[in-house]
Structure 1
Amino acid sequence: TTATITAVSAFAAWGAFLFMMSVYLQSERGFSAMHTGLIYLPIAVGALLFSPLSGRLVGRFGARPSLVTAGVLITAAASMLTFLAATTPVWQLLVVFAVFGIGFSMVNAPITNAAVSGMPLDR
């Protein structure tokens, strides 16, 4: 149940982040949907590079270190979001998005591992 609660929390944060950043970028900054999508690229790159690392960390050290790292990175990215303004340079947005993408990429492998580790072997 803890793994399920953690997964729901992480994915809720992910959805809220994507929604609110889309609103911010398009309404506050006046970016097009295409420009907004391009600014999201650091999220994908961070996830692409760090998801395999998360899987290896879980295999070697268990779920806890990867989840702690994810929590720290997502919290850091959320803290950085508090300083956003209409004049925030795009490079700062890219850094925040990369940190959030890396943090979120560290969630999936340990959550999946924790969720299925308590199941009987025949399932």
Structure 2
Amino acid sequence: MAFLFVRFLISGGLATIIHWVVFALLAHIGIVAVLASTIGAITGAIVNYYLQFYVTFKSQQKHIKTLPTYLIAVGFSFFLNGLIFMGLEKILPNELMVVQILTSMVVTVINFILYKKVVFHDR
């Protein structure tokens, strides 16, 4: 299980780097920042799906089953990220980096559980 979590972190990390690179390239050529970030996030989510599917969880399911569940999990994680961030920001209003790090840690663990038990779980 520990090695699975490491693969999950590496795959997610690579997807995040791709998100940031796409964002930076698009922003550099003059795309509006929020659009550049959105395109980067979508690109990162697509890369993350394939890395988690093939590398981390080595799923044998059909994409027609896993992709919709993945999209729901991503939507839930996005909502959860905002909710946790808002809650922690009220507790630590002057420590935004700490708040973001804590939020990311919690969401990462929840994503791992969701992906392992629901999204990529071979039944």
- Regarding TM over 0.5, the answer is no
Range class of TM-score, shorter chain: 0.3 to 0.5
